[in-house]
Amino acid sequence: MTTTTVMKPDEAALRGDLRSVDFRVGVAEGRWDLADPPGVVWPYAVFWVAAPLRPNSPDRFHLRLDCAGYPAVGPTGRFWDHTSAGPLPLGDYPKGTGDTAKVFRTDWPPQKAETGDTPGSALYHPFDRRPASDHPDWKTKHPELMWTSEHTVVDYLEMVYGLLNTPTYTGIR
């Protein structure tokens, strides 16, 4: 007797996007990949994203995305300590100026026991569902940056990779 596991549509959509040419090109170019382990343990997916060499800083950051509702709902992500399988300490977050500092900020979201929010538990960008839910005005202020169901996890990874690979990224200190 065989058992068949039926995947939910959001997980199937993410797994399909992980097989896409766009995702595989990023992998082949060394920009990102699924972390191994854990890869995808639904609704979470852990990726690494390459970073340029900076003094006393890693050459990649791990990112854990909650992909529940994907792609209709954008992921929400945080930097992840791959070794301990827990949140990256805020002191080890990538630092920088300009947009890099804004998106990778460690003072947001504010601590809220009722929602489980802790500082650094989401990236401060319109692609990320957590800050987008707090800023309904972003839909009119930044429509080109808002997550839509036409986006894929590749767009999220491109955003992180792009911020890490600009002169505004200064390392972790």
pLDDT tens, the chain, 173 aa long: 666 678 999 999 999 999 999 999 999 999 999 999 999 999 999 999 999 999 999 999 999 999 999 999 999 999 999 999 999 999 999 999 999 999 999 999 988 888 788 999 999 999 999 998 889 999 999 999 999 999 999 999 999 999 999 999 999 98
Asked if residues 26 and 157 have their Cβ atoms less than 8 Å apart, the reply is yes
Instruction: State the architecture of 9-171 in CATH terms.
Output: Roll (3.10)
Is this model's pTM higher than 0.75 or not? yes
CA 167/CA 64 separation, integer angstroms: 24
Rounded-to-5 percentages of helix, strand, coil across the chain: 30, 20, 50
User: Helices 21-28 and 153-164 meet at what angle, rounded to 10?
Assistant: 30
The tokens for 14 are: 């993410």
**pLDDT, position 114:** 82
pLDDT given at position 97: 97
Phi-psi region for residue 35, left (φ > 0), alpha (ψ -120 to 50) or beta? beta
pLDDT at 73: 95
